[in-house]
Amino acid sequence: MTDTENVISPFHGDHDHSHCQSQAMESALQQCKEQGLKLTTIRQQVLEIIWASHNPIGAYDVLQKLQEAGHKPAPPTAYRALDFLVAAKLVHRVESLNAYIGCPSPGASHQCQFYICTQCGHIAELNSLEVTAALKNGAQELGFKSVQPVIEIHGICSNCQ
């Protein structure tokens, strides 16, 4: 049995995403307050766009959604907001998809594993303490300092199987 720090999965039929969204916004506000960071209106809107689903979203899609909401931000504005949200650990950048997804636990370890469904696009986040320890041990054996050990696993979720 895997020891996990937390499991966030939209792959289960009983997932309540509206609760997920409201909890994420509350956590983001609290995290920013604790870190002395300012969650500006545009940053908060970008975070809300990202949390609209568990599917990853690209920067240009974020920009398009901002424009649909009546804003006329230039691309650098969206990128700066995304950079802030990643640095504040409020969202993750999914490297293999060049996209972003909300972080359900900004105060927790960010050595996580993403399970990405190639059918529906949903992403589940798992923070396995066993995997984290194995990565840390491997890095120590090599004399390597890992900066952001994130694993991305592509496959098919139980809903799509």
Chain segment 95-135, per-residue pLDDT in tens? 999 999 998 777 776 678 999 999 988 888 888 889 888 99
Residue 112 lies in a domain: yes
Residue 161 lies in a domain: no
DSSP labels, 86-148: HHTTSEEEEGGGTEEEE-S-TTS----EEEEETTT--EEEEEEHHHHHHHHHHHHHHT---S-
Task: Output the domain CATH number for residue 29.
Answer: 1.10.10.10
Task: Determine what percent of the chain is predicted with pLDDT higher than 90.
Answer: 48
Count of domains for the chain: 1
| Domain coverage including residue 100 | 4-155
Residue 160 lies in a domain: no
Residue 135 lies in a domain: yes
Residue 115 lies in a domain: yes
Residue 65 lies in a domain: yes
